[in-house]
Structures are given as structure tokens and as C-alpha cells.
């Protein structure tokens, strides 16, 4: 299922829930993520908070990295497709973006089905 997440990227209610989901998932891997709740740059802030953790995991702890991807539910196919279609970003930036969008998708789907 493909869902356009662009309408939700600047909605503080969805991004707050996404931040809470990220805090939970990363916390289970022993990483601490903070989010101020600033609506003007929420996505950018979350990205900048997560990206250094991803870089560190890629350089030194692949077991936690793969466990995190499993917990977030990012498949190898999704990653491969994103890498092939993105030539201007580093691998860690691609992964960070995928994580943010997957976590946001979880929130959108949860809220959508909760209303029905």
C-alpha cells in the first residue's frame, strides 16, 4: 500500500505521535531521541536527531541496526528501491528518511483505522 505522506509532514499532531513512536522504537534499542515539538521544522528536527544514531549504528553496531529496522518494519526491498532511486543522498540519509516515513505511516494508518 502506497500512501502519500506529504500532507502529514507538517502536521504537528501526526509528527508528535511519530516522534513518540520513534522515541519508543529507538528506546528499545537503547538510544535516546528528543523532540521539541516545534511545528516549523518538525520533520527536519526529527531527521537531525535520528541521523547521527543511524550513522553510528552503520559504522559500529550492525546487530542493533538490523534489529531496529526489523522493529520499525523496513524491508531490504524497500531500502534497495530507495537507494536505487536516490543518487544525491548518503546511505544513512536514505535510511533515516525511510525510518521517519515508515514511522509516520504507522501513525497515519493507526489514526485512519481508529476513526473507522
Give the 3-state secondary structure percentages of the chain, helix then strand then coil, rounded to 5. Answer: 75, 0, 25
The Cα–Cα gap between 37 and 19 comes to 9
Instruction: List all residues 6 or more positions away from 17 whose beta carbon is below 8 Å from its beta carbon.
Output: 107, 110, 111
Summarize pLDDT for 1-17 with one digit per residue, the tens. 457 888 888 787 888 88
Summarize pLDDT for 64-104 with one digit per residue, the tens. 999 999 999 999 999 999 999 988 999 999 999 999 999 99
The Cα–Cα gap between 94 and 97 comes to 5
Task: Check: pTM over 0.85? Answer yes or no.
Answer: yes
Amino acid at each position: 500500500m502506497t500512501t502519500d505522506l506529504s500532507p502529514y509532514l507538517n502536521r504537528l499532531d501526526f509528527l508528535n505521535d511519530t516522534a513518540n513512536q520513534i522515541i519508543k522504537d529507538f528506546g528499545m534499542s537503547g538510544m535516546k531521541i528528543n523532540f521539541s515539538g516545534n511545528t516549523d521544522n518538525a520533520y527536519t528536527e526529527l531527521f537531525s536527531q535520528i541521523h547521527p544514531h543511524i550513522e553510528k549504528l552503520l559504522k559500529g553496531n550492525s546487530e542493533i541496526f538490523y534489529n531496529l529496522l526489523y522493529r520499525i518494519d523496513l524491508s531490504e526491498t524497500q531500502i534497495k528501491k530507495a537507494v536505487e532511486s536516490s543518487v544525491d543522498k548518503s546511505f544513512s540519509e536514505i535510511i533515516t528518511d525511510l525510518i521517519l516515513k515508515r514511522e509516520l505511516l504507522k501513525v497515519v494508518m493507526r489514526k485512519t483505522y481508529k476513526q473507522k
